[in-house]
Structure 1
């Protein structure tokens, strides 16, 4: 489930709240990689990043630069995240 809080169609920036239900497993989607910056704050629950072999818990903050491989995730008990996606002009 996602709730879009703000979207700027002129530069494709998005701010949203994302909810993973208990038992979520995104393994079928494989590893993700994208061309935008992504900042994520987990404010409830936890997510295990299978690629990084690391579990992120409530209170953790992650910053992913463009091109960084991450995921898939497993969330045994569910999680809620605040996420910001934005592009940065390359010079």
Structure 2
């Protein structure tokens, strides 16, 4: 069941979270766009050398880190909404005592 809060004090927090989520998506798109544009040159110039293994590890761990950060922030957002629901239930239960 979806819980909708109409509390104006939460609106700035929601707007800030929405603002940052847009920036996260935009940054991800820019990184992927840059990677796609430079992939041909990267394969031609760097992967042919012996140091390419070190380069690949240092370059692609950044992408893994970015993906893990996005997943963890999504999990945090889900757990935050679940905590708000638990808080609402506790408040309603304590109010009825």
TM-score normalised according to structure 2 size: 0.18
| Structure exhibiting the larger radius of gyration computed from Cα positions | 2
Q: Which has the higher contact order (CA 8 A, sep 6+)?
A: 1
Q: Pick the structure with more strand per residue.
A: 1
TM-score normalised according to structure 1 size: 0.19
